């Protein structure tokens, strides 16, 4: 909403529930939560978070030590599963690969680290339900918590700088 700082809480909470229940849920429960809750939260991400998911020069694992305020602007996903063609295609974060697929409906993105053609890329719209994938979800969660903390600190710094500038103008 206008005037409010965006929060990653919906997404980090959804990822935390997924990780916490990973070994308790059957595949139907896991798939439903992954696609609907995690993917649903991803549909509401602001551009700067989507850019972090889609940037090709670094992954979420290991967790970046710095989150620049200036970053590559891209929503390109190099490999997105198209269920109608039963193959991976080049796609976009905001455009589903087919009329039958959709972020928040049939898939969610897993960022972690995936190296394709020497590039790091998002782990493209698929249902994650293999033992080794739990740690990858934990990596996404850790990175997003770190990003949220950094962006909140950047916002506070900006607010402070703006208030300082306003106060200087009033006193002048």
pLDDT at 24: 93
For residue 27, give its domain range: 9-171
Residue 114 has pLDDT above 80, yes or no: no
pLDDT at 142: 93
Between 5 and 138, the more confident residue is 138
What's this model's pTM, rounded to 2 decimal places?
Answer: 0.80
Task: Give the DSSP H or E segment for 125.
Answer: none
**94 found inside a domain:** yes
- Spatial distance between the Cα atoms of 159 and 32, rounded to a whole number of angstroms: 39
HEC per residue, 60-100: CCCCCCCCCCCCCCCCEEEEEEECCCCEEEEEECCECCCCC
For the stretch 43-54, pLDDT in tens is 999 988 998 888
**166 found inside a domain:** yes
pLDDT band at 84 (very low <50, low <70, confident <90, very high): confident
How much is the average pLDDT of 114-134? 48
User: Other CB atoms closer than 10 Å to residue 152's CB: what's the count?
Assistant: 14
Task: Give the DSSP H or E segment for 43.
Answer: none
**109 found inside a domain:** yes
- Of 33, 27, 32, 42, the residue nearest 129 (C-alpha): 27
**47 found inside a domain:** yes
Residue 169 has pLDDT above 80, yes or no: no
**4 found inside a domain:** no
pLDDT band at 41 (very low <50, low <70, confident <90, very high): very high
**77 found inside a domain:** yes
- Spatial distance between the Cα atoms of 38 and 46, rounded to a whole number of angstroms: 15
For the stretch 70-83, pLDDT in tens is 788 888 887 777 88
Between 113 and 86, the more confident residue is 86
164: its two tokens: 């300082």
Residue 132 has pLDDT above 60, yes or no: no
Peptide bond into 62 cis (omega under 30): yes
End-to-end alpha-carbon separation of the chain, Å? Answer: 34
**151 found inside a domain:** yes
**79 found inside a domain:** yes
Total count of domains within the chain: 1
- Of 75, 77, 53, 74, the residue nearest 64 (C-alpha): 53
């Amino acid at each position: 909403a206008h005037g409010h700082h965006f929060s990653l809480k919906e997404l980090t909470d959804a990822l935390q529930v997924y990780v916490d229940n990973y070994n308790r849920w059957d595949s139907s429960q896991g798939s439903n939560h992954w696609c609907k809750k995690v993917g649903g939260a991803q549909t509401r991400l602001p551009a700067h978070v989507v850019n972090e998911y889609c940037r090709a020069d670094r992954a979420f694992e290991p967790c970046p030590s710095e989150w620049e305020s200036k970053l590559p602007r891209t929503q390109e996903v190099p490999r997105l599963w198209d269920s109608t063609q039963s193959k991976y295609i080049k796609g976009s974060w905001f455009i589903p690969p087919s009329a039958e697929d959709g972020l928040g409906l049939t898939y969610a993105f897993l960022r972690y680290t995936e190296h394709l053609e020497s590039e790091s890329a998002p782990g493209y719209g698929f249902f994650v339900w293999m033992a080794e994938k739990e740690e990858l979800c934990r990596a996404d969660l850790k990175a997003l918590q770190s990003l949220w903390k950094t962006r909140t600190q950047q916002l506070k710094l900006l607010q402070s700088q703006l208030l300082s500038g306003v106060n200087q103008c009033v006193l002048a």
